[in-house]
Each structure stands twice: as C-alpha cells, then as structure tokens.
Structure 1
Amino acid sequence: MMHCPELELIENFYDAVSSKSLLEHFLQAHDWPDNRYAFAGRQFVLPRLQTWHADAGVRYSYSNNLLHTRPWTEPLLQIRADVEQRLDCRFNSVLVNYYRNGDDFVGWHADDEPELADSPAIASLSFGAARPLLFRHKISGETGGLVLPRGSLLLMKPAFQSHWLHSVPRDGRITGQRINLTFRRVGRPTA
C-alpha cells in the first residue's frame, strides 16, 4: 500500500500501561448512549458507539446528524492537553468512538463538514485492539492504509480531508475492543 504524506503516525504516544488503563476507563466508566438514532423519520443503527464532547457553544453534525454535546470529563481534558502539547495544535472538541469488535466500523468519508475549518487538522488517538485505517484519493483513486496500534496518535494534516476519503473497515476476525478519540477544532461554532 502507498504512503500518504498528509498522515503522521506517532506510535507509543501512550505506553502500554497507560493505554490499558485508559482503555479500561472508557470501557467501564464512560457513559455510552444507545447507538440508534432517527433522521428524516427513519431509524438508523450506528455501527459503533460514540459520544461527542466540546467546549461550551460548540455544535457539530455529520451526515445531517446533530450530535448531542456533552461536557469534557477530567480524563478527556488531560488527554486533550497531552495531544495539544505534542502537536502544538488547539482542539475544542472530541468524538469518542467505541468499536466493540471487528464488526463495528466507520465507512468511507472525509471529515469536511461545514462546521469544520476549510482544512482541519484532526488528531486520532487509539486504545485497545489495533485496527487498519484505509484511505483512498478522491480524484486518482489511489489507495493505501496503515495500522493504528494501541497508544498511537495519528495526525491527519490539514490537506488530508480535502484530498482523501478514509475508513475503518469491518473485519470479523478482530475480537478485541477499541476506543478511538478524534480531536478536532470546529471552526464555525454556533449557539
């Protein structure tokens, strides 16, 4: 698979002990909502569990699904501070995803919603089972991928969302649980 210069993988951002502790926190102490939602009178099931945390006044939606904003928790605030210090970026929100096993996934997409700046930098932090991130160029169709191991931090540089689609595919061979935090800066907050 090809390499993408608009991605930077930092392995062992958190060591094995810290990664395991944070995974256990999110599995045991994080309040996960139901993964069913309604849109345009139809019911949908999200193929993973997720929560959205943001600074006051920040709202975000994707695929016309407005996310319910929760306040930051102490662990999320500390993780955000660690990520911001390492990357020298500022984030005002995080999407916390829980992949219960390899049957949970996220399909092909770009994080290019109107609420985000034109070229957002997104930091993706993984705990638990390693999962592949696949990417596909929007014009040329070139494909690539990389594995996101536990404790790794992936920086999606600003141009990545403009040029590439990405996904975490379904893989029934994966039995382990994974928590993924995607930090972003919503550029057009609304009340």
Structure 2
Amino acid sequence: MGILTRQVHSDNLHYPLQQFNLPGATISLWQDWLSAQQASILLAQLQLQLPWTQDSILMFGKTVKIPRKQVWMGEAHCQYRYSATTFTPQPWHPSVQALAQRLSEFLGQPFNCVLLNLYADGQQHMGWHADNERELGHDPAIASVSLGVTRRFELKHRSAAWQLALDLTPGSLLLMAGGCQQHWLHRLPKQSRVSGCRLNLTFRYIKNMA
C-alpha cells in the first residue's frame, strides 16, 4: 500500500525533514541530522570504548543469543526488562550523553536512556517487535540515530495492510511517535549484500518512580 509523504523544513536549525502519513503513528526522518564526519567519528569512538556484549534472551521458551551486540545505557533508575531479561544501565558515555541532550533540545522532549545495537554486517539483524515495554509508558517517543553503513528499516501495521521501508543512512535521525509502538511493529531485516557494520542508538525516556 502506498505511503503519503511530505517534505518540510524543521523550525529547529532548518534540517530537511520527511514526514510519513501513517494510520496510528507519526514517523519523522531527518537524513542528515549528523554530518558524515560527525557520524564517522562517533562510530569509531563508540566501537572501541563501550563494553559491548552479546546478551541472551528468552524466545519461545528457549534461551538464545541475540544476533548483534548491545549496550543499555542511561540514568541509574532506568532498568529495562525485555524477553524475561532485566537490563541494568551502564553509566553514560560522555559522547552519548551529549547526543541525548542535543536530541532533547532538538525534539523538545526528554531522553534519559538509550539502547545501542551494533550489527557487524548484514547477516546480523533484529526481528519484528515494538518498543512497548511497561517502563516506557503508554505512548513512548523513540528517537533512533544511525551510524555506519546504510541499512533497510521496515515497519508494518499490526492489523491493517500498511507497510513502510526506509533506508537509514549514517547520521540519520528517525522519530517514532504518535501511537507507533501501540499500532505498528518494526524490524531491521537481514541484508546479505551488506558487509559493513552499523551502530544504532535508540533513545527513550523512563520515569523515576522513586
């Protein structure tokens, strides 16, 4: 099914913005939110300096290794439970914290934690899911920054014949909001011809209930 789009300019620093007209979701894409140089420097820095792990999760009653490496990072209270596994955040890396602050100012909303996923090549992937965990609240806004090689990102409606595929380039910023996590699923599929690595940072907000 076709997707209606519109090209506009953001009021914030005039970054080119592409918005997608979807039922039950607001999807916004800034392809060059970070410059090529900024994206390249940040990728190299985070690859070397973060404590990457290949965690295990529970799927269909079995414990399996996820097909990527990851780091969960943010404020101390931002514990996150996914697939029967509880993740305790690593302390902020200064560059990631600065990126979170920049995002908050740009989008006008807070972010205090981030999931970083490192995909070695196109064989590493993430399956269909929604970021709808209880800790994130009723209608979370998820801001996704991409580094490294361009990868295809796909979304599909939970109950209607709507789909969307995007090529996320290095330095791009994707915002999923407006009911997206309630009504849509998303994934990063395998791409056998992709040989380089991709690092994706998905920023979220978790309330401090203390």
Cα distance, 1:10 vs structure 2: 0.7
With over 3 angstroms needed to count, the CA separation of the structure-2 counterparts of 1:56 and 1:68, relative to structure 1, is closer
With over 3 angstroms needed to count, the CA separation of the structure-2 counterparts of 1:59 and 1:190, relative to structure 1, is farther
1:115 partner SS: helix
> Structure 1 regions of 5+ residues with no counterpart?
none
Partner in structure 1 of residue 77 of structure 2: 57
Count of aligned pairs between the two proteins: 189
Partner in structure 1 of residue 56 of structure 2: 37
> Structure 2 regions of 5+ residues with no counterpart?
5-19
2:150 to 103, 120, 130: 130
Partner in structure 1 of residue 7 of structure 2: none
In 1, Cα distance between equivalents of 2:68 and 2:123: 9
Residue type at the aligned position of 2:176: M
Higher normalized contact order (CA 8 Å, seq sep 6+, divided by chain length): 1
Cα distance, 1:37 vs structure 2: 2.2
Per-residue CA deviation, residues 94-121 of structure 1 (Å, 9 max, x unaligned), is 0011011001111000111111110000
Is 2:112 aligned against 1:92? yes
Partner in structure 1 of residue 200 of structure 2: 180
| TM-score normalised according to structure 1 size | 0.92
Cα distance, 1:68 vs structure 2: 3.0
Q: Percent identity?
A: 34
With over 3 angstroms needed to count, the CA separation of the structure-2 counterparts of 1:42 and 1:109, relative to structure 1, is closer
Please report the RMSD computed on the Cα atoms of aligned residues, expressed in angstroms: 1.8
In 1, Cα distance between equivalents of 2:96 and 2:116: 9
| TM-score normalised according to structure 2 size | 0.84
Check conservation: 1:138, 1:165, Cα contact below 8 A: yes
Partner in structure 2 of residue 102 of structure 1: 122
In 2, Cα distance between equivalents of 1:149 and 1:38: 28
Partner in structure 2 of residue 47 of structure 1: 67
Runs of 4+ in structure 1 deviating by more than 3 angstroms, as ranges, are 38-43
